[in-house]
Each structure stands twice: as structure tokens, then as C-alpha cells.
Amino acid sequence: METAYLIETIIKIVVVLLVFSALAGIGTYFERKVLAFMQRRLGPMNVGPYGLLQVAADGVKLFTKEDVIPQNVVAPIFKIAPVITAATAFMAAAAIPFLPQFTIFGYTVHPIVADINIGILYILGVMGVGLYGPLLGGMASANKFSLISAARGAAVFISYEVVTGLSILAPIMMVGSLSLIDFNNYQAGGIGDWIIWTQPVAFVLFWIAAFAETGRTPFHLIANDHEIIDGFGTEYSGMRWGLFFIGEYANMFFMSFVIPLLFLGGFGDGSLLGALGLLGKMAFFFFFFLWTRAAWPDVRPDQLMWLCWKVLMPIAVLNILVTAIVLM
Amino acid sequence: MEQFNNRNVSNEYFLVDIEDYPTDGWGKFKRVVKRTFRAELFVGLWVVLREMVKFDIHTVSYPEEKMPIGPRYRAVHEMKRLWESDAERCIGCGLCEKICISNCIRMDTKIDAESRKEVSEYTINLGRCIYCGYCAEVCPELAITHGGEYENASDQREHFIDFKTMLTPLETMKAGTQLEFEGFGAITPHEDERVKKTPLAY
């Protein structure tokens, strides 16, 4: 392995980490603002112009807050759980091409940390490992609500992961590759080539499962504030709780990148317009995560499991069958 | 009597039509399909997006903006002065202390040099006061009233206020800007026209 490649990869990792940690903070600002506007409120206004520095104020608060380890918790697991959530969220980013390749000072940069040939499988797998954060954190917390949250997390995880996997199978059969770069190149011809036109069902299923994957509002039952306090986050304070938060928001951003890359043409032919297009699509999907939080009610855990197992999974299997027959 | 018992004053009232719950599997399936494709979720999305675009914000950014409060609002007490002489109106009768249901008013009186009754001590424990307005209502001289000052946060929960702080400052009296309280115990409008001479010729 040559040194240049190593250095380049390390720089890319650092950039991804920094950019998406910052984006996670700014994401909370956007969430507050969008939710406030949709509810005829102003949102944060006092810290900085239009409340823009609220993120910094929250960061200072999280960093300086005492890191409480309650008495009866299983301390090592309790301490490691938030790290799992945040780390797996960022690890999943390794196989996502955020931009098309571009040349800077005569050096071609591929804005993907590692173009592995099992990209989408790796992303789904690592995001799946992220479940251990809420699960272990909830079980180690010595708190009833955290325990309920952990149990819900496990039940919900099994349900939506089936739908995610099965819904993505049909597009994979069409493209014949698991790499997100190959997915992008398959759809590079323009809007007519987007997989959403040939796989609308898979697109909707994957999108629904993405809400369960990131634990956003219609399926926000792992940490449902009005039922089980903050679920697995109840006993956490300070930066450990902040790590859960960063993990959640980073996950939202990465899902917002993965959905357009899979179904909506990604960055297209790799031009500047295509790159901006990918960022625009990402912004829409991220906005949609916030939008649904303002508009939709939460479902019960049993309703989510009913939805995943009895409705979405049969549809996904049918979709695979139909795709296979058509491809033959 | 019957026409008063009939509450259906408007023809617009109607009973909500609630469908029977489905009992068999086919009925449940039909209900699921109907609910799925009625697109109510998108109605919800449209409503919140419409409100966001209209940007009709209802927030009052409190420390900078304040809502107007009514003249009858019962906040921290005030002691009024006489318009004619700028002397305090309180005659030390003790009715407010007596009627106070949370026992938060304490007063002490003494006979002053001109052998008139004078208030020497007067405190209201705002930590106990429930702002019921009885003191203002019972006061025969319209001396103790409620004011509009509701920002009484303090570093001590039991924040006593005394006679001096409640009294209308003399500068306000000189400027003639003392506001009369319009709430409990206040004089009703056009009271002068209804006043009659006390019949002394019994």
C-alpha cells in the first residue's frame, strides 16, 4: 500500500468526520427552525443572529456538563454504548460517494473513503450494528424506561431490517452490483434512467424503512419522549448523550445520501450540476425527515411490527418476484 | 320552558357518523386499504408546509415584546395617594389584613403627633399572596390596589414588599400620572351622578 493512498484516505476520513459532526449540529438547528415555522413559532432566536450560534451554545453545554454514571448501571457497557451509535453511523459513511470525482491541483479526488464492491451491503450492515447503541445502553441503564426502549429497539430492528434488505434486493438484481458507484453509473443517463421509475415500490419501501432505521417520527418509538421519557437516553447526560444525538443526525444525513444514490440518479454524469443535484436531493430527504416530524403521529410498536411483517415484507417479496420474472 | 331546554339552537349541529368496526378479516382488510389510499398523511404534510410558507408567526418574543394586559389585571400591589394633597390614602383601618385569606398582609399603626392614626409598618408577603384581589375590594379608601407589574422574579422566594415601595412616588403625583385601578373595589363609571346627599334630617 503506497503512502499517498494512505494519507489521502486519512484526510478523507478526517474531512468526513468533521463535516458530518458539524452537519449533525447544524441539523439540530434546522430541525428546530423547520419544526418551529411549521408550528407558527420562531424557534431559537437569542443566541447569535437568528439563533445561528445555538449549536455552539448547545455544544458548550454538552461538553461542560457532568458525565453522570448512575449507581446501579453496568458501567463499562453503559459507557461504550453511545460510542457504538456514533462510531457505526460514521463507519457507514465510508462506502458512500458524497460527490462525483473531481480534480484539484491536478490530483483526482474520489470523495468516497473506500469504494468497496459490497458498498450497500456494508452500509446496511454497519447501520444495523448501530442498533447495539440503544440496545446495550438501554439494557445497562438499570432503568425501566430504558429497558422498554431497548426491547422495542430490538423488536423494531428485526422488523425494519427485513424490509430494508428485501426492498433493496430488486434494484440490486437490476444493477448487478452492490457498489454505490455502480448504482450511480447505472442511472447516469439522466432522469429517464433513474431506478425509481422501474422500482417505485422498492423506493417507497426503502424510504419507509429508512424512517425506522433512523428512528424518526412515524417510527420514533425507541426513544419516544411522551411515553418512555427518552428511552435509552434517559440516564445519559453530557457528551455521552450528545454522542447518541450526533449518531442519530449523522445517520439521517447518510440515509438522505443513500436514498438518492440508490433510486434517484445520485450525482448523475459527474458534472457540477450532478453534484449539486445530489446535494439538493439529499437536502430534500433530510427536510422530509423534519417535515414528517411536524405532521405525522407516532405509531405503536405493535403497529410498526404489523406494518413491517404483514404489509411491507409481502409487498417487498412480491416486488422481487415480479422483478425477477421481468428480468428473465 | 321546553324551548329553553332545547339546546339545538343552530341547525348546523349534527351527529358524527361513526362507522361500525369491521368484525371479519375482509372488512379489516378493506379498512386498511381505504385508509392507506385516502392519502390523509399527505393532507397533514400539506397543512404544515402551508403554515411554514405563510410564515404567520404567533410567537411573542417576551423580554422585548410584551402582551398588553387589562387594567383589571391583578399583579403586584400598589398604594395610591390622594389626588388633592399627595398624602397617602391608607387610613390604617386594617380591613385588608383582616380579609386576606392567605394571611400575607401585616400592618401596624400608631397615633402620630397630630393624634391621627398612621401606618407604621405595612408588608405584603408576595410568596404567600394569591392575588385574589380581596384587599383591593375591601379597601374603603381605594388605597391598596393591584398594579400591572407582573415581573416580580427575585432571588428570594419570599419577597416582602413594604409600604414605601408600594406607595406611588411623589414625582408621579406631581406629574399627575397616577393610574386608578379599574378592578375590584374601584368606583364604577359615572358614580358622581348617582351620589346623593346623606339624609341628615331624620
Q: Which domains does chain B have, with CATH numbers?
A: 2-54 (no CATH), 77-187 (3.30.70.3270)
Of all residues in chain A, the one with the smallest CA distance to B29 is A311
Residue A3 confidence (pLDDT): 83
| Contact of A56 with A45, CB cutoff 8 Å | no
Q: What's the mean pLDDT in B71-85?
A: 86
Residue B100 confidence (pLDDT): 92
Residue B8 confidence (pLDDT): 63
| Residue B1 reports pLDDT greater than 60 | no
| Contact of A70 with A142, CB cutoff 8 Å | yes
Return the top range by mean pLDDT from A59-63, A284-288, B85-89: A284-288
Q: How confident is the model at residue B157 (pLDDT cuts 50, 70, 90)?
A: low
Q: Which residues on neighbouring strands pair with residue B81, listed in sequence order? A: B88
Q: Which of A69-78, A157-166, B156-165 has the lowest mean pLDDT?
A: B156-165
A-interface mutation test, from B52, B61, B64, B65, most A Cβ less than 10 A away: B52
Q: What's the mean pLDDT in A107-124?
A: 80
Q: In chain A, which residues have their Cβ closer than 8 Å to the Cβ of B52?
A: 34, 37-38
Q: What's the mean pLDDT in B35-46?
A: 84
pLDDT digits (tens, 9 = 90+) for A3-57: 878 888 888 888 888 888 888 888 888 899 999 999 988 888 888 888 888 888 8
Q: Which of A3-12, A124-133, B123-132, B187-196 has the lowest mean pLDDT?
A: B187-196
Residue B159 confidence (pLDDT): 61
Chain A nearest CA to B24, separation (Å): 17
A291 vs B: CB within 8 A: yes
Q: Output DSSP code: residue B81.
A: B
Q: Give, in order, the Cα–Cα distances in Å from A134 to each of A150, A163, B33.
A: 6, 20, 34
Chain A nearest CA to B152, separation (Å): 22
Q: In chain A, which residues have their Cβ closer than 8 Å to the Cβ of B61?
A: 42, 45
pLDDT digits (tens, 9 = 90+) for A220-277: 887 777 788 888 888 888 888 888 888 888 888 888 888 988 888 878 777 778 788 8
Q: Which of A132, A130, A146, A134 is nearest to A72 (CA)?
A: A146
pLDDT digits (tens, 9 = 90+) for A129-185: 888 888 888 888 888 888 888 888 888 888 888 888 889 888 888 888 888 888 888
| Contact of A145 with A229, CB cutoff 8 Å | yes
| Residue B4 reports pLDDT greater than 70 | no
B-interface mutation test, from A30, A31, A35, A38, most B Cβ less than 10 A away: A38
Write out the DSSP string of A24-38: HHHHHHHHHHHHHHH
Q: In chain B, which residues have their Cβ closer than 8 Å to the Cβ of A315?
A: none
| Residue A95 reports pLDDT greater than 70 | yes
| Contact of A158 with A244, CB cutoff 8 Å | no
Residue B202 confidence (pLDDT): 65
| Residue B99 reports pLDDT greater than 90 | yes
Residue B95 confidence (pLDDT): 92
Chain B nearest CA to A300, separation (Å): 16
3-class DSSP state of A58: helix
Residue B101 confidence (pLDDT): 93
Please state, in angstroms and rounded to a whole number, the distance separating the CA atoms of residues A133 and B14.
52
Average pLDDT, chain A: 85
pTM of the model: 0.77
A-interface mutation test, from B48, B56, B59, most A Cβ less than 10 A away: B48
**Nearest 10 degrees: CA dihedral of A280, A187, A256, A166?**
160
Q: How confident is the model at residue B87 (pLDDT cuts 50, 70, 90)?
A: confident
**Does B59 contact A42 at a Cβ distance shorter than 8 Å?**
yes
3-class DSSP state of A18: helix
* Edge-to-edge order in the sheet of strand B105-111: B105-111, B117-125, B160-162
3-class DSSP state of B76: coil
Q: Which of A282, A34, A293 is nearest to B45 (CA)?
A: A293
| Contact of A205 with A319, CB cutoff 8 Å | yes
Write out the DSSP string of A209-249: HHHHHHT-GGG--TT-HHHHTTGGGTT--HHHHHHHHHHHH
Residue A109 confidence (pLDDT): 74
Q: What's the mean pLDDT in B123-143?
A: 87
Q: Which of B23, B31, B139, B16 is nearest to B77 (CA)?
A: B139
What are the residue ranges spanned by the domains of chain A? 3-327
